[in-house]
Structure 1
Amino acid sequence: MFRNLRTLVPSTHSLIQRFPVSGTAKGKGKGKDKAGQPLKRSIIPKKKPSGSGGSGGRGRNAASELTRMAESCLNAPAPLRYLSPKDRQREAEREKLGLISKQRQREMDQAKEKAASPSHDEAFLMGTPGLDYISLGLVDADKIPEYKLTVEDGRRLAKEYSRVLMRKHRARQAAETTLLRLKKEAIAALPEKLQAAALVPDFTPFPANRFMATLTPPIEGYIEKVKEAAKKSVGKEKLR
């Protein structure tokens, strides 16, 4: 019986601390190095808040740039302002007094930029610089004809272009009318039994393995002869 109790009750030496756990502040002194100096406790650096530092500055700059971009898109001025004659007169009177609105200043800046940009009358290169026809020497720049068109010339060319388009359109309509007439005549030339079948539209897809239309009838056995010649040439190359 006592033997069974000994097995159930743990021995007293198992509850006694035989080795020190660590040199912490819980009743124990700090550890010392080989020279006898107390060991310095390692300090973990604290993280800086996200608002300070380079990354925070970049975040603020990106947010401000996005806000500025959204405001510029929402408050973008119209490319062309519409003003009534009365408003134009008022704006001219304000300009005489030295009062210029932002919209008017923007129009004046655009006019200056357009005047400073090269005019369309000057010759300019088309294509990649250095690879265009003039730089390669294929075209002589002095021999290129110059065209100075006026408003009347533009209107005359537009009318002529419209006539050409209408001529093409009428020719296409005449061709379609001729095709329909020939189709009806071909159906009428068929026997009465086949006319009903010819009037039913056929929506079956065109066969993919069908040969294209040719002006002359195909030569029988031509493809087979070509394949045989190709096989013989391949065999000769292998023997070499």
Structure 2
Amino acid sequence: MFRNPKALITSLETVLQPQSHLCIQRFPVSGTAKGKGKDKTAPALKRSVIPKKKPSGGGGGGGGRNVATELAKSLEEACLNAPTPLRYLSQKDRWREAEREKLGLISKERQRELDSANGKTAGPPADEPFPMGTPGFDYISLGLVDADKIPKYDLTVEDGRRLAKEYSRVLMRKHRARQAAESTLLRLKKEAIEALPEKLKAAALVPDFTPFPANRFMATLTPPIEGYLDKVKEAAKRSVMKAKLR
């Protein structure tokens, strides 16, 4: 304890005196993004900018890149804005579309729906032969099939119904024949396993999940036609040369 009260008061005054000298700014602070002003005397810093290469208009490479870029953009827009086969419209939107049709205003999507409903975009005209295969590489374009020799049929509705019933009968006959063949194979498999000795029968009952070899060709009922692939390649080359000459 302090015996002298004056000494106690003096020590308390020294401890509790305001330390305002610690808050005085003694050094200049550079301008920051926290609201402080920038130093006008400091030189302005310049940002390093990488110059962009301008495509040359006269060179062939620049034009090729522009064509490729435009083609990629058009392909991207065609994929993003591809028409849907069936549009979803609410009751209010359908009512608005019906009111626009009364005024003679038809949107492209509605016109496309009307054309598909009327059968305008169903396929090629009746007088033209239907392409059998990839367009441009079908049998008619490659010259393997003569379009004039293709038989033409004038079918009525009754003929179509009769052919549909006959086609259904043929499919049912094939299905039943397949079921009978599978049943026969299973029966023969069971008989073959029963005819094995006990040691081999236990091994035969274990299922084999070994994948089919990838280098094996698909089984065919008839042997491949000799030179058929060469004929198709030659016909494709002739078609490409005719297209270039046009």
- Shorter-normalised TM-score: what interval? 0.3 to 0.5
Which structure ranks higher in relative contact order (CA pairs < 8 Å, sequence separation ≥ 6)?
A: 2
TM-score, length-normalised on structure 1?
A: 0.42
TM-score, length-normalised on structure 2?
A: 0.41
